[in-house]
Amino acid sequence: MGGADKALLTLAGRPLLSHVLERLEPQVDRVLISANGDPARLAGFGCPVVGDAVPMGPLAGVLACLRRAADMGATHLVTVPVDTPFLPGDLVPQLLLAALAAPEGLALARDDLRDHPATAIWPVGLITALESHLGEGGAKVTGFTRAHQAATARFPDPAAFDNLNTPGDLARAEALLKGRG
């Protein structure tokens, strides 16, 4: 996207982050935004912005938010990418159900084609393990989720997890939304 802040790119006249919040907020108690850089750019969304202690990729953001969630008294954290505006309306309940079958309560989304490890539910009890993983240089989300035997919540519609990574992806999403209107 040419270095643009994905959260603020517009889809159907609204920032991508607004679409994700619209899908996620009815399913959770509170929302944290994991973002590095100036948090003021996201102040208008009404959610606390949590930066990484040490920027090391998505897992560092998960760790920072897990710590904040634990401080807030939460038992779990749900993560979703900011560029997935079509998330399922039953995402969190399905992740919670899948987590019941996981040895450590970690579960991620899966559609009929592939896993979506950035869309997951993380128990705050994994903070120490995640700190160790990152301290040992582990940066891949899939490396951590596999090592901790994450369960999968299955969703039938791969389009629900479409990442808008290019201007073409954004244009297709715009056309899809116009077709629904």
CATH of the domain at 169: 3.90.550.10
Q: Looking at residues 59-86, what average pLDDT do you find?
A: 97
Give domain status of residue 73, yes or no: yes
- The model's confidence at residue 2, banded by pLDDT at 50, 70 and 90, is low
Give domain status of residue 99, yes or no: yes
Give domain status of residue 80, yes or no: yes
What pLDDT was estimated at residue 179?
77
Give domain status of residue 152, yes or no: yes
Give domain status of residue 93, yes or no: yes
52 with 36: CB under 8 angstroms? yes
β-strands 76-79, 10-11: how paired? Answer: unpaired
Cβ neighbours of residue 121 closer than 8 Å, sequence gap 6 or more? 76, 77, 78, 79, 92, 95, 96, 98, 99, 105, 106, 107, 108
Q: Looking at residues 30-51, what average pLDDT do you find?
A: 95
Query: Mean pLDDT score of the chain, rounded to an integer?
Result: 93
Q: What are 88-141's pLDDT values in tens digits?
A: 999 999 999 999 999 999 999 999 999 999 999 999 999 999 999 999 998 899
Give domain status of residue 169, yes or no: yes
Q: Give the range of the structural domain holding residue 52, as residue numbers without chain letter.
A: 6-180
What pLDDT was estimated at residue 4?
81
Structurally, the chain folds into a number of domains equal to 1
pTM score: 0.93
What pLDDT was estimated at residue 36?
92
Give domain status of residue 1, yes or no: no
> Of 93, 80, 95, 96, whose CA–CA distance to 33 is shortest?
80
